[in-house]
Amino acid sequence: MANDTITAPKGFLAAGVHAGIKASGQPDIGILVCPTGARAAAVFTTNKITSAPVQVSRQHIKSRRIFAVVVNSGNANACTGRQGLKDAMEMCRLAAALLGNKARPDQILVASTGIIGHRLPMDNVVKGIETACGQLAATPSAGLAFSKAIMTTDRKVKLAVRRIVVGGEQVTIAGTIKGAGMIGPRMATTLCFLTTDAAVSSALLARALEAAIDQTVNRLTVDGHQSTNDMAVIMASGLADAPPINRADGAYRRFCRALLELCQDLVVQMGLDAEGATRMFKVVVTGAATRSQAARAARAVADYPLVKCAVHGGDPNWGRIICAVGSAGVDLNPARLSCRLDRIWVFRNGSPCRFDRAAASSVIKRPFHTITISLGVGRQSDFCYGVDLSREYVTINADYHT
């Protein structure tokens, strides 16, 4: 069976264990290791309140080589003051020690996800890291165990892999991501871990990661906010037999395209598994005066609870879409404003269209549909992904007690 986990690229080991951080008994400590040291790049949340692991990893990513990422779920280690910083650094120190004398603590990244404002149960964390380090393997089941260990309210494990040929040799990129709430597309929402055996230079790796995240993870809004703990990391072992990628040439563009596709794959998995979500949609805004206005209008539609509820109900309620666009504070021409659901025009040049309601409803009831809006004032466009709002979302978030 082909390995479709983050251990698919050459040079990575992983593990995931239950250390008792989550009361549910589910896995809650994951370790991803590149024993030879990886070039790495990362993007972090833009929330002004950042978790301890984000603060620590922001420093550590400056190291030329990264040997591992240590992740816990079930506790965000955010708003935990100096003790939280000490705990995050202790996780790095312990992992470095267990991995042998090559790795320094500042060459380990750390990430956490879960409840805000509680100190990590360090006894469990330490034991979990020790156990996980003893189980490190390059097998698919080890990669899967890592992906399970980063889940919070996710119902499904999220995995994606892409293979490309560089200089006649295979290069592999793999990734995993967690949802499923606090998803807003302002920067590196959620935790996302990517591995590759391509030998890409650090600068090109950072550019590729930023571009891919910008067009995928950062475009998904579930509930309009980014968390204090968001982080996306890519590690490149450089162990593929392919020649190194040190210039922005054809091989680099193929690498970027594969990384983008992989992230698109992950973001759709994340959207469809978002808290309470039953379907996903893309909002495309065209004819805008500026690209940022197009992005703002798309985001306003995707975040508007009444649109999300209408999508949940399979209802082609375009009036709510127009209302959201009108209140987004962007330039628009009411006489040229138009909207379609996939290919079905529902509103054109400022007037309602006659359309087949049953057909429009069945478009909306697909797992994925596209709402296209033209503002009629310019030539710029942008997009955003959204999900429906269900009773289940409320149940999950009203009952997830501190």
Catalytic residue IDs: 189
**Contacting range for a copy of itself; rule: CB under 8 A; set: 63-71, 140-148, 157-165, 393-401:** 393-401
Separation CA 161–CA 259 (nearest Å): 9
Residue 241 three-state SS: coil
Of the listed pieces 125-133, 194-202, 287-295, 325-333, which binds a copy of itself according to CB under 8 A? 325-333
Q: Are 175 and 193 in contact (CB under 8 A)?
A: yes
Instruction: Scan residues 5-34 and list those touching a copy of itself (CB under 8 A).
Output: none
CA distances from 321 to 42, 194, 215, 223, 318 (A): 35, 35, 23, 17, 5
Q: How far is the CB of 45 from a copy of itself (least distance, A)?
A: 8
Closest distance of CB 50 from a copy of itself, Å:
8
Distances, alpha carbon 245 to alpha carbons 42, 175, 241, 258, 319, in Å: 19, 20, 12, 14, 50
- State whether the Cα torsion 190-102-204-13 is positive or negative: negative
| One residue of 324, 341, 363, 384 binding a copy of itself per CB under 8 A | 324
Which of 122, 126, 284, 323 touches a copy of itself by CB under 8 A? 323
Q: Is 337 in the site for a copy of itself (CB under 8 A)?
A: yes
Let me know the angle formed at the C-alpha of 367 by 363 and 370, rounded to the nearest 5 degrees. 55
Rounded Cα distance, 229 and 339, in Å = 36
Write the CB contacts of 17 (distance below 8 Å, at least 6 apart in sequence): 27, 28, 29, 128, 131, 132, 135, 145, 149
Can you tell me the distance from the alpha carbon of 220 to that of 270, in angstroms, rounded to the nearest whole number? 9
**Local structure of residue 164 (DSSP, 8 states):** E
Among 5, 172, 317, 338, binds a copy of itself (CB under 8 A): 317
Shortest reach from residue 15's CB to a copy of itself, in Å: 28
Residue choice 332, 344, 363, 373 for contact with a copy of itself (CB under 8 A): 332
Among the residue ranges 32-40, 132-140, 246-254, 388-396, the one whose residues contact a copy of itself (CB under 8 A): 388-396
Q: What is the closest distance, in whole angstroms, from the C-beta atom of residue 114 to a copy of itself in the complex?
A: 10
Q: Which of residues 80-119 bind a copy of itself (CB under 8 A)?
A: 80-81, 115-118
Binding region for a copy of itself (CB under 8 A): 46-50, 76, 78-81, 115-118, 181-182, 184, 186, 223-228, 303-306, 309-310, 312-313, 315-320, 322-327, 330, 332, 334, 337, 347, 350-352, 357, 389-391, 393-402
